[in-house]
Amino acid sequence: MKTFESMFGFLFDASKLAYLDDDDLKSCCLNLETALRNGDGSDIDAKYLLMELQILQEMLPNEAYETDRPWTSIQIMEFAKKMDMFPSVMVAYRILLTIPVTVASAERSFSKLKLLKSYLRTTMTQDRLNGLAILTIERNMLVNVDYEKIIDDFASRNARRHHFR
């Protein structure tokens, strides 16, 4: 977590980004470029990222960082996307927002799978087990499902209708 914060910490919210001076911003951009380097290539060029972030600092509205609730990284990315002129910033925020910081969801999945797959369910096929695991893991989404509509739709599609002459 500390490694992740040391690479991307300056992008976490608008108050951190807005109050960085040019030297600190430059060192953060160089650090991020180094962290994302793979061989000779890097996903981000520190020079372009620095220029774009300097412009973004000026363009951010005051409400983004002067309130008691500064904009989050998602809100900053949406603002940059709306402006459609910050390609390096967009890449940096996409990487920031897609890197899993913890393995909690993977651990939760295995924990649920262990509960599901008991001795009595060892004869279950893999497809059915996967379906039940997804239903168990994503049970919060199931609250909004209209079962009657699904049953009616299934019945209408799979009904065998025989026409007698």
Tens of pLDDT, residues 15-74: 888 888 999 999 999 999 988 888 888 888 999 999 999 999 899 888 888 888 889 888
**Residue 123 pLDDT exceeds 80:** no
Percentage of residues in the chain having pLDDT higher than 90: 19
Say yes or no: 98 and 139 in one domain: no
Q: Identify whether 108 is part of a domain.
A: no
Say if pTM beats, i.e. exceeds, 0.85.
Answer: no
Rounded Cα distance between 11 and 66, Å, is 16
- Stated as kind and residue range, the H or E segment containing 37 is strand 37-38
Say yes or no: 39 and 10 in one domain: yes
**Residue 163 pLDDT exceeds 90:** no
For the chain, the domain total comes to 2
Q: Identify whether 78 is part of a domain.
A: yes
Cβ neighbours of 74 (radius 10 Å): 11
Determine the structural domain holding residue 148 and report its residue range: 122-159
Token pair in block for residue 44: 């981000």
Say yes or no: 130 and 93 in one domain: no
- Give me the mean pLDDT over the 102-113 stretch: 67
Rounded Cα distance between 52 and 35, Å, is 19
Phi, psi of 36, deg, nearest 5 = -95, 10
Mutual angle of helices 87-98 and 73-83, in 10-degree steps: 150
Say yes or no: 81 and 151 in one domain: no
